[in-house]
Copies of this chain bind each other. A is one copy, B any other.
Amino acid sequence: MVRAEKVRAKPVLATVAALAGVSAPTVSKVINGRDDVAEATRLRVQAALTELGYESPMQRRARSTGPDMVDLVIDGMATQYSMEILTGILDYAAAEGVDVVVGSVTPAKLQTANHEEWAQRMIESGRKGLILVTSEMTTRQLDSFAQRNIPVVVIDPLNPPRQGFSSVGATNWAGGKEATEHLLSLGHTRIAFLGGPNAAECSVARLHGYLAALMGHGIKQRPEYILTGGFTKTFGVEGTRQLLALDEPPTAIFAASDATALGVLEEARQHGLRVPDDLSLVGFDGTPLTEQTLPRLTSVAQPLQEMGRAALRAVLRLVKGEELDSAHMELATELVIRDSTAPPRVA
**Chain A residues close to B by CB (< 8 Å):** 57-58, 61-62, 65-67, 69, 77-78, 80, 83-84, 86-87, 90-91, 93-94, 99-106, 109, 121, 124-126, 262, 269, 288-289, 292-294
The residues of B that contact A292 with a CB separation of less than 8 Å are 262, 289, 292-293
Q: How far is the CB of A164 from chain B (nearest CB, A)?
A: 26
In the bound complex, how far is the Cα of B80 from the Cα of A84, in angstroms? Answer: 11
Q: Are A102 and B102 in contact (CB under 8 A)?
A: yes
In the bound complex, how far is the Cα of B33 from the Cα of A65, in angstroms? Answer: 14
In the bound complex, how far is the Cα of B83 from the Cα of A67, in angstroms? Answer: 25
Q: Are A94 and B109 in contact (CB under 8 A)?
A: yes
Can you list 19 A-B pairs, Cβ within 8 angstroms, ordered by A?
A58-B62, A62-B62, A66-B124, A66-B125, A69-B101, A77-B83, A77-B90, A78-B84, A78-B87, A78-B288, A80-B80, A94-B103, A94-B105, A99-B103, A99-B104, A99-B125, A100-B101, A100-B103, A102-B102
Q: How far is the CB of A257 from chain B (nearest CB, A)?
A: 14
In the bound complex, how far is the Cα of B74 from the Cα of A188, in angstroms? Answer: 45
Which listed residue, B84, B104, B106, B262, touches A67 by the CB 8 Å rule?
B104
Central interface residue in A84, A91, A94, A99, by most chain B CB within 10 Å: A99
Q: Are B67 and A125 in contact (CB under 8 A)?
A: yes
The residues of B that contact A78 with a CB separation of less than 8 Å are 83-84, 87, 288
Query: Please, which residue of chain B has its CB at the minimum distance from the CB of A127?
Result: B99
Q: How far is the CB of A79 from chain B (nearest CB, A)?
A: 9
Q: Are A65 and B103 in contact (CB under 8 A)?
A: no
Q: Are A93 and B103 in contact (CB under 8 A)?
A: yes
Q: Are B105 and A102 in contact (CB under 8 A)?
A: no
In the bound complex, how far is the Cα of B293 from the Cα of A269, in angstroms? Answer: 13
Q: How far is the CB of A99 from chain B (nearest CB, A)?
A: 5
Q: Are B100 and A99 in contact (CB under 8 A)?
A: no
> Given A58-B61, A293-B292: A102 and B125 within 8 A (CB)?
no
Sample of 15 more A-B contacts, CB < 8 Å, known A67-B104, A94-B106: A57-B58, A58-B58, A66-B124, A66-B125, A69-B101, A69-B125, A77-B86, A90-B102, A93-B104, A94-B103, A99-B104, A100-B101, A101-B101, A102-B102, A292-B293
In the bound complex, how far is the Cα of B38 from the Cα of A65, in angstroms? Answer: 26
In the bound complex, how far is the Cα of B69 from the Cα of A269, in angstroms? Answer: 47
Q: Are B77 and A103 in contact (CB under 8 A)?
A: no
The residues of B that contact A125 with a CB separation of less than 8 Å are 66-67, 69, 99, 126
